[in-house]
Amino acid sequence: MAEPKKKRSQSRKGKHRSHQSLTSPALMLCPSCKSPKVSHQICPTCGMYDGRQAMVITTSKDKKKR
């Protein structure tokens, strides 16, 4: 296999990896509870999606009562 003849310098390495940075997910506000959530996902706090209740969310207080 081919091997590099010389070491790639730190500045060149940084330029080579410049597009590999991490980006944070695009967040939007939930229309029902106004908490931040990922777009096109069920709201983790209220369980709403597209104007309907998609999932019932139980809190730790509810779990202790059972």
Q: What is the pLDDT of residues 51-66, one digit of tens each?
A: 899 888 887 776 666 6
pLDDT digits (tens, 9 = 90+) for 19-37: 989 999 899 999 999 999 9
Q: List alpha helices for 1-66, DSSP H.
A: 10-16, 60-65
Check if the beta carbon of residue 4 is closer than 8 Å to that of residue 12.
no
53 closest CA partner among 29, 25, 30, 27: 30
Place of tokens 């931040």: 36
Both structure tokens of 41: 């996902």
